[in-house]
Structure 1
Amino acid sequence: MNIVITSRHFELTDSIKEYIIHLGEGLKKYHLDILSFRVVVSFQEKKGKEKKKKSFLIDMALSVAKANMIVISQKDKDLYVAADLAFARMHKILRRYHDKINQKHTTPTEELMAMDILRDEALTLKGEDEIVPMDLYLHKPMDIDEALECLKSSSQQFFVFNDKDSKMRVIYKRIDGKYGLY
């Protein structure tokens, strides 16, 4: 990761650079493909009615592959506090992005338990083929509405039935929550 640190309206010391680089190294723990990281530290002095207000502004721009650029601005009286707050916000954003990417690949524990049970059963039946009979209720012709109600009341993904014209039909649950009919 390439960190570019620049300053405006004051001189950047080595200790400030090292501190920002140290904070920037902590962003590597999310294992994201960070293309570039730019930090601009600026000093602002506003003249008010009573006294001068001095503050530091930290602007950070982080470019991650296959994502939008992340831009953060943080302002505080103390430079180190502003840097800490800005990097805390950056960590929060990167953690959410990392979790969003990796959440797709995780499986719920119930599915893992079901997969373990099926695998154990497959190991015990190793070498034996077993046919499990199922009732398809093909003896009675049904309307499409009746078949839809049967499918909704069961936990199956599809339902096979004969319609009024003695034609074999299949009604099934689609991914988008609607129902399909063959």
Structure 2
Amino acid sequence: MNISIVGRQLELTEPIKSYIENAFETLGKYNLDIISGRCVVSADEKQGRKGFNAEFALNMAHKDTIVIRQKDKDLYAAVDLAIDRASKVLRREHDKKITVKGKDDGKEVRARIAEEPVEGVDEIIPMELELYKPLEIEEALEHLKNSEMQFYVFNDIDAKMRVIYKRADGKFGLY
């Protein structure tokens, strides 16, 4: 990231420059491809009161430029407040980037599982469960007895997810 620090009506000392450079470095944790950052610090005196303005401009690849202006009596406080606001904006952008990537609802993972062979297992066939209709336990037991499945997953009348299964001794178990 290219960093530019400018002082208007203010002499920039080395501690101020290094403080602003460190502030820019904290913005790198969001991995958002920030091309350049510019900070303009200016002294402002209105009606006999001194104050400082800090303006940060962040140029990002494939995004609009983010500009944040902050005023305060203390220069370091103005820089800190501006960086906090920039962090919030960059965190939102980072979260958008993550949620857009994860929009496939697991279809890609299920497809990859179906294609990959698993050691010791001939073939895994993904199935969709029919959990939309609540069943009595007796109905689920009949369904399991009439099929060749080892277990059956269902929602009972109280909307609890239950599993009924065949035991090795020929009886049935219920979770």
TM bucket by the smaller chain? 0.5 to 0.7
Residues 66-90 of structure 1: per-residue CA shift (max 9 Å, x gap): 1000000000000011000000000
The residue type paired with residue 56 of structure 1 is F
Give TM-score scaled by structure 1 length.
0.59
% of aligned pairs identical? Answer: 44
Q: Which residue of 1 aligns with 2:110?
A: 115
Superposition map of 1:97-136 within 5 A = 97-106=93-102, 111=106, 115=110, 119=114, 123=118, 124-126=121-123
The alpha carbon displacement at 1:119 in A equals: 4.4
The alpha carbon displacement at 1:33 in A equals: 1.2
Q: Which residue of 2 aligns with 1:133?
A: none
Tell me, which stretches of 5 or more residues in structure 1 are unaligned?
131-182
Q: Which residue of 2 aligns with 1:12?
A: 12
Tell me, which stretches of 5 or more residues in structure 2 are unaligned?
126-175
Question: Which stretches of structure 1, 4 residues or more, deviate above 4 A after TM superposition?
Answer: 122-125
Q: Distance in 2 between the 1:111 and 1:81 partners?
A: 45
The residue type paired with residue 61 of structure 2 is A
Give TM-score scaled by structure 2 length.
0.62
The counterpart of 1:88, out of the listed 84, 108, 112, is: 84
- The alignment's C-alpha RMSD in Å is 3.1
The count of aligned residue pairs is: 123
The residue type paired with residue 53 of structure 1 is R
The counterpart of 2:73, out of the listed 77, 98, 105, is: 77
Q: Distance in 2 between the 1:125 and 1:106 partners?
A: 30
Q: Which residue of 2 aligns with 1:173?
A: none
